[in-house]
Amino acid sequence: MSNNHNHDTECICCQGGEGAFLEGTRNNIAEYGVSMLAVGNEYVYTIGAANHGRVDLVLGFVNPMLNNIYIALEKHPSIEDTIRTGSAAKLSKDVLGTLVDGYLVPIPEEIAVNFTGAGYRYYAEFAHETKAPVTYAQVIFPDTKGTFPWEVGYVAWGQASAVTAEYLKEKIDALVETKIH
């Protein structure tokens, strides 16, 4: 994943002007609770979750399970508390309805701002609407054999990451298991 995209053709916030983008984002959040921004064809991220006291997500692919992730977080708010402390959290495949467990890895702000700049611009403009600190978490799934993207033998399926493989491995290895029933 890179943040080197063509602003003229791939960046929706640049195409319509920042003011129009921010207003459209605010309207989406008012109507749907959260907005999503695609950066080229590399990754998407949410904007507006902090308005509801939630953690925003970065996905290296468009994942139809995004709703299930937010449902799991709604049922288990301690997961987001874990993310805000800088630890990773595991999401059970049974809760997500996926073949494998998922993981949320906190992205340090100094990295997140480079990949979610429009999100941070939105929060700067409408800070009075947020109910929690702006926190982004990378969503990571191993392949169906349990191999992670940084491991040999990983079967790629379009997952990209805002942070390095070493950082992800460190956080998941140090994972504070979040009990999900």
Query: Count of residues for the chain?
Result: 181
The reported pTM is: 0.74
Residue ranges of alpha helices (H) inside 55-127 are: 66-75, 78-84, 93-96, 109-115, 117-125
Domain containing 152 equals: 12-173
Q: pLDDT tens-digit profile of 92-127?
A: 888 777 778 888 899 998 888 888 888 888 888 887
- What is the average pLDDT score of the chain? 78
Q: Is 2 part of a structural domain of the chain?
A: no
Q: Is 158 part of a structural domain of the chain?
A: yes
**Gap between the terminal Cα atoms of the chain:** 33
Q: Is 144 part of a structural domain of the chain?
A: yes
Q: Is 7 part of a structural domain of the chain?
A: no
Q: pLDDT tens-digit profile of 136-147?
A: 998 888 888 888
Across-strand partners of 117? none
Count how many domains the chain has: 1
